[in-house]
Amino acid sequence: METRLFLREGHTVPSTPMPDPVTIRRAYPDDGDELVRLAALDCRRLPAGDLLVAEVDGHLWAALSLDAGEAIADPFRPAAAIVRLLRIRAAQLGAAATVAERDRTWRRQLTPRRQTTG
């Protein structure tokens, strides 16, 4: 099925189905079984540490360790772009943590120290 953009010139663009929404979130404890399944499908060990996961239609397609940067993905799904999204989100979270730590440091430096009398 094609959609006509300009009827007079005959330009058309093929219709493509809309991709399913992707949810990127931290892994929950009850994701354990699905994460083990995902690692087995990818013939890899489950990455250690805190994980970000990508969920499509209620199923995990990929996971990324926030600590080690290792990823696992379902090899039977087009998950390469989703792993890239996980890496981008992990970088955003890392940058946010760096900014928050810098802000805490600045606040400590700017806060006047109390003089103790004794």
Report which secondary-structure segment, H or E, holds 105: helix 80-110
Residues 6+ apart with CB under 8 A from 60: 31, 34, 35, 38, 53, 54, 74
The whole-number pLDDT of residue 41 equals 96
**pLDDT classification of 93: cutoffs 50, 70, 90:** confident
Residues 6+ apart with CB under 8 A from 81: none
Residues 6+ apart with CB under 8 A from 57: 20
Phi, psi of 36 (to 5 degrees): -65, -40
Structural domains of the chain sorted by starting position, each given as residue range(s) with its CATH number in brackets: 17-109 (3.40.630.30)
Average pLDDT across the chain, whole number: 81
Please state the pTM of the whole predicted model.
Answer: 0.68
